[in-house]
């Protein structure tokens, strides 16, 4: 039974996650190309799978070392699974990966125990990171609302706010200088290397129905689990890892509703937090049989929907 492999965070489970991600990416790229195994499909799938593993490593490192972002072995199953369910949008480029990894590092900072957060070092880093992603797309400045997760609990609020402002000013100074030197403009102008496609554009318009339902399930799960934990522990003891993931998920919904992306992306920001909370559902389900049913149900829905939307099969 496949879900038994992911009961523990082991090397075996990590390797299985990589190959499951690889197969999922090959399938998705096959569908995006209209049912063709083109020349670069395996290379592109390999690159995408490496990035998925890197996402997971960053999150699991946070859990193992010093942060409170809960990450279990079931997330090794949910991330590859969500590749098939995900509304892929039009394309992936280096700029989008930079934003994703930057937000994961921000999650690492916000997930630390409140009493271990440095009002100078950590808040400065947070201001620098969030300013950097906001420079790429000003609408991403919505993530600054997450700073309140730690500011309201830190005793040294004045020092924290000063550090935040210094981080913002430092990032702006550096980024504006670099951007002006490269493009002659003060505001961000995307260089060709950041806008280059990593995977081939889809030849079909993707359906949002399946992924929209998965996002809704993840959102309901996040809210319900948060309410359950509030009844057992003080908010300050819960850690802000899952709080940040919930904010991330809500912002992704706002981006979709109001079309705040700068390209034809639809749900790009939603992948990581949705996969995270779907993994939490696997953690909740205790019986092996029910975990298997849940996994294969989502897998079946994802596979059939992708084949149908891309007109590879007709129902």
Instruction: Give Rg (Cα) of the chain.
Output: 20
Taking alpha carbons only, the member of 95, 101, 91 closest to residue 44 is: 91
b/e per residue, 145-177, with b = 16+ CB within 10 A? ebbebbbeebeeeeebbebbeebbeebeeebee
The per-residue pLDDT for 257 is 95
Going by pLDDT thresholds of 50, 70 and 90, the confidence category of residue 315 is low
SS3 112: strand
pLDDT at 183 over 50: yes
pLDDT single digits (tens) 158-177: 999 999 999 999 999 999 99
Triad 58, 228, 4: Cα angle to 5°: 50
Choice between 69 and 245, residue whose per-residue pLDDT is larger: 245
pLDDT of 61: 61
Contact, 3 vs 77, CB < 8 A?
yes
Residue ranges of domains in the chain: 1-90+208-315, 93-196
Global model pTM greater than 0.85: yes
pLDDT one-digit tens code per residue, 71-112:
677 888 999 999 999 987 667 888 999 999 899 889 888 887
Q: Output the average pLDDT for the chain.
A: 86
50 close to 79: Cβ distance less than 8 angstroms: no
**pLDDT tens digit string along 34-53?**
888 888 899 999 999 998 88
**Which conformational region is residue 259 in: left (phi greater than 0), alpha (psi within -120 to 50 degrees), or beta?**
left
């Amino acid at each position: 039974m496949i879900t038994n492999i992911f009961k523990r965070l082991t090397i075996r489970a990590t390797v299985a996650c990589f190959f499951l991600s690889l197969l999922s990416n090959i399938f998705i790229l096959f569908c995006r190309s209209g049912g063709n195994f083109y020349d670069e499909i395996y290379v592109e799938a390999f690159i995408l799978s490496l990035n998925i593993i890197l996402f997971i490593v960053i999150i699991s490192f946070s859990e193992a070392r010093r942060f409170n972002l809960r990450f279990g072995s079931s997330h090794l199953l949910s991330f590859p699974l969500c590749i098939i369910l995900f509304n892929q949008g039009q394309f992936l480029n280096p700029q989008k990966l930079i934003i994703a990894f930057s937000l994961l590092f921000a999650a690492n900072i916000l997930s630390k125990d409140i009493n271990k957060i440095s009002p100078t070092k950590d808040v400065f880093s947070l201001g620098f990171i969030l300013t950097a992603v906001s420079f790429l797309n000003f609408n991403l400045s919505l993530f600054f609302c997450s700073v309140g997760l730690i500011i309201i609990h830190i005793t040294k609020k004045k020092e924290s706010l000063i550090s935040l402002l210094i981080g913002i000013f430092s990032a702006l100074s550096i980024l504006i200088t670099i951007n002006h030197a490269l493009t002659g403009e003060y505001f961000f102008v995307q260089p060709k290397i950041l806008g280059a496609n990593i995977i081939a554009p889809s030849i079909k318009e993707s359906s949002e129905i399946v992924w929209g339902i998965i996002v809704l399930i993840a959102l309901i799960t996040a809210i319900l689990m948060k309410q359950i934990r509030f009844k057992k522990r003080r908010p300050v003891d819960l850690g802000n890892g899952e709080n940040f993931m919930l904010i991330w998920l809500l912002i992704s919904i706002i981006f979709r509703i109001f079309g705040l992306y700068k390209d034809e992306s639809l749900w790009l920001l939603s992948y990581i937090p949705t996969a995270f909370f779907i993994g939490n559902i696997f953690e909740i389900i205790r019986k092996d049989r029910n975990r298997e049913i849940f996994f294969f149900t989502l897998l079946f829905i994802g596979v059939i929907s992708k084949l149908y939307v891309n007109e590879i099969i007709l129902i």
